[in-house]
Amino acid sequence: MAKNSWRLLLVCLILGLMPGMSQQAALADSDYYTAGVVEFRQSILSASAWSDSLEGYVEIIHSENASATDIIVFPESTLNSVGSTTFVPNPDDQINPCLSDPNATYYEEFLVTLSCAARNASKYIVINLTEKQKCTDVPEDTRPCASNGLNVFNTNVVFDRQGVVVSRYRKVHLYGEAKNNTYLPELITFETDFGVTFGHFICFDILFYQPAHQLVVEQGITDFVYPAMWFSQLPFLTAVQTQQGWAYANDVNLLASGASRPSIGNSGSGIYHGRSGTLTSVMRQDSGERTIYVAQVPKYTRSISLQKRVRRSTPEIKTRQVASSSSFYMKRDYVQNYESDLLQIDQGISGTINRTICQGSFCCNFDIAWRSLESTVQNGSYYSYRLGTYDGWRNEQQVDANYIRNCALFTCSGDSIDDCGTLLPTEGALQQPRVAFTRLVIEVTYPESREFLLIPDTLKDNLLPLEPNQFEWSQQKPHEDSYVHEVRFALKESQEVSNLLTFAIYGNYYDNECTFGVGTEEEQLACGYRSGSSGLTILGGWLTMPLVILVITWNRA
């Protein structure tokens, strides 16, 4: 009896000394974790801007809205600048700046302060900062070094609940930034005490295979932290549109945090649960904000039946705000390079169209129906629509390029292609939809490639996308030995939409290497495409029979 009492006492002492053990076990066993992403408006750059941002960061970390979170993600480039760079500990060294450098004699004050904030709040904190590193710390990098002996990186830093730096990622694909790339691209993940392993990348990285898509394909990562200062671009690459589409296509959890200054094109934060869609998101259309958005995120390690029991945050009900050129600065894609047709919509008349548009051998089939909406506003302004196909490189200068194959319905502020990819200048009731789409179907056969990602890409006039319960998406091979993917993207039959800006399939082929049908026969064989196989040898060949049928139909008409 005495022996058993001593054993019980010993167990109680151990539990008392390590109260976090049972809490961590409970977190790891939970069906979900609670995440917060921060939409953050940085002060106008000045000598005191970074201290104001730091104060804002700490206030959010300790706010009531953040109290339930396990992990908080802050956006890109809203904390410090090249004028206030800091060294960052190597995560392998498990350094806690709050404890090891409390007077900020080696690390900058903001890094120490945020380490302490993570420790005091007992949360994982993800920040993005401008990092400095001594060139001599990377002797294998033989590239020329700056005169001050420092590399400067765009870097994510992760603190654990104790304030220890447990992960560091340096941006691979810079967007016109006067910073360094790493000697070799980084592929970084970190583990948490709530049983989830995260990958991370930054802003422009999302459009490339390495590291974002690579982490999904090669390491099976299902959860990502994603700081961004995104400059939205119509019609295919606004912030939340891109975030949700990427998370859906990869079927992963994405915690995306955005800088918030709509006047220069920055806004867009959200939490997304793969094929289930958006848990919470925002696209501001005013002066920006400093706000945390919180959601319970189902874990992919649990069964679907358990995921369905997770309580999601209830989105705040707001009056729908229609975007205009005065409420949000928008960049424009080079849609004049698309092969496109104006969709003829006559006022007061409903209509249908079934049309195939090709650029070279790449073809997209559109099946569309709409009903006319009666206008109640005199001198109102309306979008027109175009159908477009593109097969080529993204035409954006002085940044890393990616190859795309797109099929799209998109809006224009006039009837010319030069009017496309812009918002209307009018706001509120003066901006009226002319039609409600009752059927939207895009069907296309895409070539297989070594690295590619096909994404449902939608946008409404409030700058938010359609949700997965509003559309249907299928991507499959005709048979196992085929080297093509048949894709069908459609508005659900029970749905109609009147406030649409974009409905597209965004085919991202990255560097377009080892793409079926591209290159010589020798190159195709080297990529593993067998000569004379059942894969199609001409990408447009699948259209032959439908086109013959259409010709016969037109002749009879």
Structure tokens at 508: 């991202």
Contacts (Cβ under 8 Å, ≥6 apart) of 475: 454, 485, 486, 487
What are residue 169's phi and psi, to 5 degrees? Answer: -130, 135
CA of 121: how far to CAs of 60, 78, 331, in Å? 11, 21, 39
Contacts (Cβ under 8 Å, ≥6 apart) of 449: 509, 510, 512, 513, 514, 515, 516
- Asked if residue 238 lies in contact with residue 268, where contact means CB atoms within 8 angstroms, the answer is yes
Strand partners, 392: 404
Rounded CA-CA distance 132/151 in Å is: 6
Residues 483-505 as b/e (b if ≥16 CB within 10 A, e otherwise) read: bbbebbbbbeeebbbbbbbbbbb
Rounded CA-CA distance 39/114 in Å is: 17
Rounded CA-CA distance 382/245 in Å is: 26
The residues annotated with a catalytic role in the active site are 76, 171, 203
Name the residue with tokens 């994982």.
124
Half-sphere exposure of 484 (CA within 13 A, CB side): 20
- Asked if residue 236 lies in contact with residue 408, where contact means CB atoms within 8 angstroms, the answer is yes
Rounded CA-CA distance 463/324 in Å is: 10
CA of 436: how far to CAs of 241, 320, 351, 486, 496, in Å? 21, 17, 11, 27, 6
Phi-psi map region of 265: left, alpha, beta (phi>0 left; psi -120 to 50 alpha): left
Contacts (Cβ under 8 Å, ≥6 apart) of 124: 70, 71, 72, 118, 158, 159, 160, 161, 192
Closest by CA to 200, choosing from 183, 184, 219, is 219
- Asked if residue 314 lies in contact with residue 64, where contact means CB atoms within 8 angstroms, the answer is no
Closest by CA to 206, choosing from 278, 268, 153, is 268
